[in-house]
Amino acid sequence: MDVLMLSRLQFAAATFFHFLFVPLTLGLSVMVAIMETRYARSGDEIYLKMTKFWGKLFLINFAIGVVTGITLEFQFGTNWSRYAEFMGDIFGSLLAIEALGFFFLESILLGVWIFGWRKISKKAHATVMWLIAFASTGSAVWILTANAWMQHPVGYVIRNGRAELENFAAVALNPFGILMFFHMVSAAYILSAFFVMGISAYHLLKKQHVEFFTKSFRIALVFGLIFSFFEIFEGHLHGSDLAEKQPAKLAAMDSHWETSKNAPVYLFSFPDEANERNYIEIGPMPGMLSLLAFHSTDAEVKGLKDFPPDERPPVLITFASFKIMVGLGFYFALVTSIGWLRRNRLMESPWYLKLMLYSIPLPYIAILLGWTVAEVGRQPWIVYGVMKTADAVSRIAASQVAISLAAFILVYGLLGAAAFYLIIKTARKGPEPEAA
Amino acid sequence: MDLQTIWFFLWVLLWAVYFVTDGFDLGVGSLLPILGKNNDEKRIMYNTIGPLWDGNEVWLITAGGVTFAAFPRVYAIMFSSLYSALMLILFALILRGVSLEFRGKVDDPRWRKVWDTCMFVGSLVPAILFGVAFANIFQGIPIDGGGVYHGTLFTLLNPYGLLGGVLFLLLFLVHGSLWLAVKSEGNLHDRSADMANKLWPVLLVVAVIFLVASAFATSIYDNYLAHPVLFIFILITVLALLGIKIFLAKRSYWKAWFSSALTIFGATFYGFIGLFPNMFPSSINPDFSLTAFNSSSSPLTLKIMLVLALICVPIVLAYQFWAYNLFKGKVTKDDLAYEEAY
């Protein structure tokens, strides 16, 4: 394999692994902050126990998220140096703002939160968790703004053989980034809600700590319900924005080959990339793609055949990731709705609790698939329409990258196993037993 | 002063603050197998840096981000040239960070042993490799006009590079043992102070060798000779290094630690003052060297980032100081009983 393929795999492995931990940090910080605020206001010990139990899981998860984030930043220099050189004027500053403005706040306050129980007041301690939640959300804003610039570059001019900043406000307020942000944060909240509901369901099924986990479940349920529905609406906006800004990605997401008006969506289809068609197309909904993409059944949707073959993303991966993600999105809305109807009868609904327990991995899958659509669907471009990924890779020895990729897989594999073990162990153990 | 010069020194400042803050964390981690005689002592060592290491490490992320933002060409060529060294540092720091969080979560000596080993390796490797990398930068790196590196990881392991590695390790070991002397009591405190006393003469000798070797291996004294007033910085650094011993003798451990901090700060600036305006000099041809002027971002980006940095850095320093102040007390055996303790 060449440096390009190895670097792609390495970046994908590092990003996927990092992103197993980031969403839970985003969502759980808010939920723990809510729990701790209730404790600080009411003094009700059960909320303190909730804060500590969910906080413990939050910390295990946070640790891995933090340490694996650094490799992402540095890989732009190590593996994608020609990208870094060409785009650094814009892209680098967004990462620097993230670190200076938000990551510091998050990291320094985390130490204060863990060790500060007897050093600062209850209310101050709860405020610290709110600030951590604020800072991690702020971090997400800037990282996604940086990614959005790769998806839809704005506010720049090509000068001196590189992209130079022309309008900072345009870069910072890139509408594409704003849509990505809401999409990703909602996904993170859904994931966190399913995480809390799933673990609560485990204990409720065992009929232990019933009050504790019923309360936890309900807080998470509200989160999950609201954001599952919001995500469907937001995802639609995001998709129709894509139709305009990344038509090749949109066509790949639906495996849409021929440019046509009144373009359909199929209930089931399967792309045949080699022959530029679909193997099967079952259950056409005429005009649906035109309607979803451009809000009119008459609208013309550009097909993949109208893009030069070397400017098309890998269709099958993009298509399958997108369809499964969307399916999961509707599933989340469905099961949280059922949960809402049964919120007062959770203990009488073991089948539902079991369903929620086994649903924990699903939002993780949905998020990773979402990133696959975003990143694989953008190929062959690293910056859409401006720079190809193949032109961005460092001029370094392939052996180096092969070794580091192997190290990534080994180290991350072991870390993942250790984190998984710790999270399960802590989750199973449940809250500290009440003092007799 | 022009924007590039300001950014050059701001960039050096970020690295210096990183080495001063995370330096003692790396030192404590490297000393773990030597000074931590039993589980309680090891835990105390972990807990002395527990609330602070994470914020300290962000200085590295910021130094990286700022290199990317202000000097993208340096970021691209430095990081891809030093590929293997940097990957080793990153993996080490990953293991270090996770060890802190995971070690105490399972009550099993084998589990603890695994993470203690990761903590040790994860601290020792960056301490040495940062020194190796920076010494090599002072000396010049074999990069051609296209920024392509002509060497391997082992090219960096030349005598001067290794000397830099030893120097950094000693700086961080002294820094870490002083931190432990400040933050612990009883036997651990005594052994830490003793360790600092023993390491100090070695550090002094290595530092002197490094100062002399730099005259032969690098051209960093050219700037000093052109502007002799700059020698003041070297003088201050050497005085700070001597100050460590003076305060150690008086058992003023906080003051000794601050002297050590100033020494590390001065050592970082020492090389880059000599290097200016070079940031990543080429050993193949000086024309290929990356300087603050041929590698910087556009004036607009530099201006915007400067405003942001001038606002954010003091704020960060203020709340980081607040956090340090919050946790300035000694870590005792009693503290280990709390459930949140590492």
ipTM of the prediction: 0.89
pLDDT at B334: 81
pLDDT at A398 over 80: yes
Kindly report, residue by residue over B77-103, the tens digit of the pLDDT.
Answer: 999 999 999 999 999 999 999 999 899
Chain B hits for A90, Cβ within 8 Å: 301
Tokens of B101: 């969080």
SS3 A120: coil
Would you give the distance in Å from CA B8 to the centre of its chain?
Answer: 18
pLDDT at A268: 87
pLDDT at B46: 93
Place B335 in a pLDDT band, splitting at 50, 70 and 90. confident
Domain carrying residue B58: 3-337
Chain A touched by B317 (CB under 8 Å)? no
Mean residue pLDDT of chain A comes to: 90
SS3 A411: helix
Structure pTM?
0.91
What size, in residues, is chain B?
Answer: 342
- Whether residue B154 is contained in a domain is answered as yes
Place A161 in a pLDDT band, splitting at 50, 70 and 90. confident
Long-range contacts of B193-202 (CB under 8 A, 24+ apart): B193/B248, B193/B251, B193/B253, B195/B31, B195/B34, B195/B35, B196/B244, B196/B248, B196/B256, B197/B248, B199/B170, B199/B173, B199/B174, B200/B174, B200/B244, B200/B245, B200/B248, B202/B170
The per-residue b/e assignment along B16-46, b for 16 or more CB within 10 angstroms, e otherwise, is: bbbbbbbbbbbbbbbbbeebbeeeebbbbbb
Read off the pLDDT of each residue in B189-216 and give the average, rounded to a whole number: 95
Read off the pLDDT of each residue in A111-140 and give the average, rounded to a whole number: 92
SS3 B213: helix
Task: Name the residue in chain B with its Cα closest to that of A159.
Answer: B298
B61: nearest CB among A63, A70, A404: A70
pLDDT at A434 over 60: no
Chain A hits for B55, Cβ within 8 Å: 104, 107-108, 111
Verify whether the Cβ–Cβ distance B54 to A110 is below 8 Å: yes
Most confident of the ranges A96-110, B32-46, B159-173, B318-332? B159-173
Chain A touched by B55 (CB under 8 Å)? yes
Verify whether the Cβ–Cβ distance A119 to B68 is below 8 Å: no
Place A436 in a pLDDT band, splitting at 50, 70 and 90. very low
Element (H, E) at B291: strand B290-291
pLDDT at B14: 94
**Based on the structure, what is the number of domains in chain A?**
1
Q: What is the Cα–Cα distance from A183 to A77, expressed in whole angstroms? A: 28
Count of CB atoms situated within 10 Å of the CB of A22: 25
Verify whether the Cβ–Cβ distance B75 to A79 is below 8 Å: no
- Whether residue A435 is contained in a domain is answered as no
Read off the pLDDT of each residue in B268-294 and give the average, rounded to a whole number: 91
pLDDT at A385: 87
Query: How close does chain A come to B75, measured CA to CA in Å?
Result: 6
- Whether residue A234 is contained in a domain is answered as yes
Chain A hits for B77, Cβ within 8 Å: 81, 85
- Whether residue B108 is contained in a domain is answered as yes
- Residue whose C-alpha is closest to residue A57's, from A414, A429, A426, A432: A426
- Whether residue A434 is contained in a domain is answered as no
pLDDT at A432: 77
Q: What is the Cα–Cα distance from A378 to A382, expressed in whole angstroms? A: 7
Task: Name the residue in chain A with its Cα closest to that of B88.
Answer: A404
Verify whether the Cβ–Cβ distance A78 to B79 is below 8 Å: yes
Place A152 in a pLDDT band, splitting at 50, 70 and 90. very high
Verify whether the Cβ–Cβ distance A63 to B60 is below 8 Å: no
Phi, psi of B341 (to 5 degrees): -60, 145
B68: nearest CB among A92, A394, A395: A92
Read off the pLDDT of each residue in A359-385 and give the average, rounded to a whole number: 93
Q: What is the Cα–Cα distance from A361 to A349, expressed in whole angstroms? A: 21
- Residue whose C-alpha is closest to residue A83's, from A374, A382, A400: A382
pLDDT at B341: 79
Read off the pLDDT of each residue in B325-333 and give the average, rounded to a whole number: 88
Read off the pLDDT of each residue in A270-275 and give the average, rounded to a whole number: 86
Chain A hits for B75, Cβ within 8 Å: 76-77, 81, 84-85, 88, 92
pLDDT at A15 over 80: yes
- Whether residue B45 is contained in a domain is answered as yes
Residue to substitute from A89, A383, A393, interface B, most B β-carbons within 10 A: A89
Residue B239 vs residue A283, higher pLDDT? B239
Query: How close does chain A come to B339, measured CA to CA in Å?
Result: 10
Q: What is the Cα–Cα distance from A276 to A305, expressed in whole angstroms? A: 7
pLDDT at A401 over 70: yes
Chain A hits for B68, Cβ within 8 Å: 73, 76-77, 84, 88, 91-93, 95-96
pLDDT at A435 over 50: no
Place A43 in a pLDDT band, splitting at 50, 70 and 90. confident
Q: What is the Cα–Cα distance from A314 to A307, expressed in whole angstroms? A: 13
Please name the residues between 186 and 205 in chain B that touch chain A, using a CB distance below 8 Å. Answer: none
Task: Name the residue in chain A with its Cα closest to that of B49.
Answer: A111
pLDDT at A433 over 80: no
Query: How close does chain A come to B211, measured CA to CA in Å?
Result: 31
- Whether residue A236 is contained in a domain is answered as yes
Phi, psi of A319 (to 5 degrees): -60, -55
Query: How close does chain B come to A125, measured CA to CA in Å?
Result: 13
pLDDT at B19 over 50: yes
Chain B hits for A88, Cβ within 8 Å: 68-69, 71-73, 75-76, 297
Place A302 in a pLDDT band, splitting at 50, 70 and 90. confident
B298: nearest CB among A89, A98, A422: A89
A108: nearest CB among B297, B305, B319: B319
- Whether residue B82 is contained in a domain is answered as yes
- Whether residue A423 is contained in a domain is answered as yes
Chain A touched by B324 (CB under 8 Å)? no
Verify whether the Cβ–Cβ distance B100 to A120 is below 8 Å: no
Verify whether the Cβ–Cβ distance B105 to A426 is below 8 Å: yes
Q: Give the percent of chain B with pLDDT over 70.
A: 100
Read off the pLDDT of each residue in B316-324 and give the average, rounded to a whole number: 92
**Based on the structure, what is the number of domains in chain B?**
1
pLDDT at B288 over 60: yes
Q: What is the DSSP letter of A436?
A: -
pLDDT at B151: 86
Chain B hits for A415, Cβ within 8 Å: 94, 98
- Whether residue B342 is contained in a domain is answered as no
Verify whether the Cβ–Cβ distance A108 to B323 is below 8 Å: yes
- Whether residue B136 is contained in a domain is answered as yes
Read off the pLDDT of each residue in B238-253 and give the average, rounded to a whole number: 95
Point out which residues pair with A66 in neighbouring strands: none
Domain carrying residue A55: 3-429
